[in-house]
Amino acid sequence: MRKSYNASKWRRISRCRRNDAPHNTHNKLFSALSSVPAMTSGAHDMPRKLRVFLDTSAILAGLNSPTGAAGVILAACFSCDLVAIISPQVIEETERNIAKKFPKLNEGWASFLLIPPEITPPPSFSEVRRAYKILATSDTPILASAIKALPDVLITWDIHDFLNDRVRKAVSFPILLPGEFVHRLRTR
């Protein structure tokens, strides 16, 4: 069975990260990640990794283009430089889109799930109702899960739903495009 170009490239990048071998495309990001000031988790002031909530659009973009900004973020999650957070709704939506539109990404998706990402519990009815007041679309449960997870950032390509001023002002974490997130890490 012939493997797709993207899946093969994704495995190569992932393998490099796992073995800590240098990979020119990602060197600047990984050096930026290592220089990010440590966040503390509370009681014992233990440093913790940045927690990034990934929307379906960011995951699909990263799997489809491993050298793009979303791909760099997935590679950083795979190498445990970032903590990936997803919701059950993101899993369902990603699997539905891969089956319908991107069957060649199935292998990369399976590898991503083996990291493993932190999977939020499904949001309660009241959490979805509160999120609906902020974002009244089919992505409301995803926003509710992100609010519940309290990530350091939500990363998405969904410009219409998540990347508008009303939603951005209503949540306690930044909502960024993959490129914006990578740029912020590199300029720290």
Question: 3-state SS string over the chain?
Answer: CCCCHHHHHHHHHHHHHHCCCCCCCCHHHHHHHHHCCCEECCCCCCEECEEEEECHHHHHHHHHCCCCHHHHHHHHHHCCCEEEEECHHHHHHHHHHHHHCCHHHHHHHHHHHCCCCEECCCCCHHHHHHHHHHCCCCCHHHHHHHHHHCCCEEECCCCCCCCCHHHHHHCCCCEECHHHHHHHHHCC
Amino acid present at 50: L
Report how far apart, in Å, the C-alpha atoms of 37 and of each of 27, 169, 177 are. Answer: 18, 25, 22
Give the rounded percent of residues in the chain with a pLDDT score beyond 90.
68
Question: Does residue 41 or residue 48 have the better pLDDT?
Answer: 48
pTM beyond cutoff 0.75: yes
- Predicted confidence band of residue 48 (pLDDT cuts 50, 70, 90): confident
| Residue 43 confidence (pLDDT) above 60 | no
| pLDDT at residue 188, rounded to an integer | 79
| pLDDT at residue 91, rounded to an integer | 98
- Predicted confidence band of residue 42 (pLDDT cuts 50, 70, 90): low
| pLDDT at residue 187, rounded to an integer | 87
> How many whole angstroms separate alpha carbon 141 and alpha carbon 144?
5
> How many whole angstroms separate alpha carbon 129 and alpha carbon 126?
5
> How many whole angstroms separate alpha carbon 167 and alpha carbon 165?
6
Least confident of 43-47, 78-82, 165-169: 43-47
CB contact at 8 A, 75 and 14: yes
Q: Give all domains of the chain, ordered by start, each with its CATH number.
A: 46-186 (3.40.50.1010)
**CA angle 182-179-84, nearest 5°?**
60
Question: Does residue 123 or residue 6 have the better pLDDT?
Answer: 123
Mean pLDDT of the chain: 83
